[in-house]
Amino acid sequence: MSRILIVEDDPALRSSVRSVLERSGHEVHTAGDGAAGARELEQNHYDVVLLDIGLPFVDGWEILESQGDKRIPSVVVISARGEERDKVRALDMGADDYLAKPFGADELLARIRAVLRRAQQPPAHARTVTAGTVTVDLGSQAVMKNGVEVRLSPTEYGLLAALAEHAGRLMDHRTLLRTVWGPGYGDERNYLRTFIQRLRTKLEADPKNPEVIVTVGARGYRFGPPAAEH
C-alpha cells in the first residue's frame, strides 16, 4: 500500500481518481487547491503525488518549483492541456511522469505502478561502480560525489542505476527508456533527455563535458569510460 496525494480542483475528477486508487489498495489523501496541496507536501510524507497544473491560489508549476531538491515523492503531473511542451516543461521541472486528461483508470493505474516500481527497485547485485568522482552503490542505492551523498529522486536513481549496472558499455535510448520507464516508453526521447540533464547537473564536475554519463553518438549513453576489451 502506498500513500498517494491527489492535488486536483475538479471535485468530480478528484473523487473518481480517489476511488480508483483506493480500490487498488492505496491510502489516498486529497487537496482541492494548490495552497492546500503545498501544505500537505510540507507536512506529510507521500510516495506519489498526482498533481494538476491548473489550480486555484498556487498552480502546479509553482508547487513543482518549490519542491526542488527536497522532493522525495514521485510526481505524476495530470493536465488537461496535453501539449508536448507542457510535458517537457513538467519533466524539466522534476516531474516523474505526465498524464494528459482525460485518462482512463487502467492508464492511471499503470502510471502509478510504474512510478512505484522505480521507487521500490529490488537491490541489484551489491557492488559499487565508480566514474570520475561519482560512486554508485547498487546495493544500498547510495550515490556519492566527492564522498558526499547526492540525493536523487526514484526515477533519477533508476536511470543512473540502469547505466551503472552496465558500466563501460553503451545503453541505447530505447533500452534505457523501456528499462526505466516501461515497455510503452521506447520512443519518449524527451524523458531521457531531461533526466540525463538532471543527473548531469547533480553529478558531473562539468555538465558540459560529462565523464560520468557519456553521450555515445546518437545511439545512447554510457556510464564512465568504455570498458576495456579482453
Q: Could you say whether residue 32 binds Ca ion (CB under 5 A)?
A: no
> Between residues 34 and 154, which has the closer beta carbon with respect to Ca ion?
34
Name the minimum Å distance from CB 86 to Ca ion: 13
Please give the residues from 40 up to 59 whose contact with Ca ion meets the rule CB under 5 A: 52, 54
> Between residues 9 and 165, which has the closer beta carbon with respect to Ca ion?
9
Name the minimum Å distance from CB 10 to Ca ion: 6
CA distances from 169 to 115, 158, 166, 184 (A): 26, 17, 6, 24
Q: Could you say whether residue 62 binds Ca ion (CB under 5 A)?
A: no
The 10 Å Cβ neighbour count of residue 32 is 17
> Between residues 52 and 86, which has the closer beta carbon with respect to Ca ion?
52
Please give the residues from 133 up to 192 whose contact with Ca ion meets the rule CB under 5 A: none
> Between residues 52 and 137, which has the closer beta carbon with respect to Ca ion?
52
In this chain, which residue has its C-beta nearest to Ca ion? 54
Q: Could you say whether residue 9 binds Ca ion (CB under 5 A)?
A: yes
Name the minimum Å distance from CB 101 to Ca ion: 9
Name the minimum Å distance from CB 58 to Ca ion: 12
Name the minimum Å distance from CB 55 to Ca ion: 6
**Of 6-14, 26-34, 68-76, 92-100: span binding Ca ion (CB under 5 A):** 6-14
**Of 1-9, 15-23, 131-139, 194-202: span binding Ca ion (CB under 5 A):** 1-9
DSSP, residue by residue, the chain? --EEEEE-S-HHHHHHHHHHHHHTT-EEEEESSHHHHHHHHHHS--SEEEEESS-SSS-HHHHHHHHGGG--SEEEEEES---HHHHHHHHHTT-SEEEESS--HHHHHHHHHHHHHHHTPPP-SS-EEEETTEEEETTTTEEEETTEE----HHHHHHHHHHHTTTTSEEEHHHHHHHHT-GGGTT-HHHHHHHHHHHHHHH-SSTTS-SSEEEETTTEEEESSPPPP-
- Binding residues vs Ca ion (CB under 5 A): 9, 52, 54
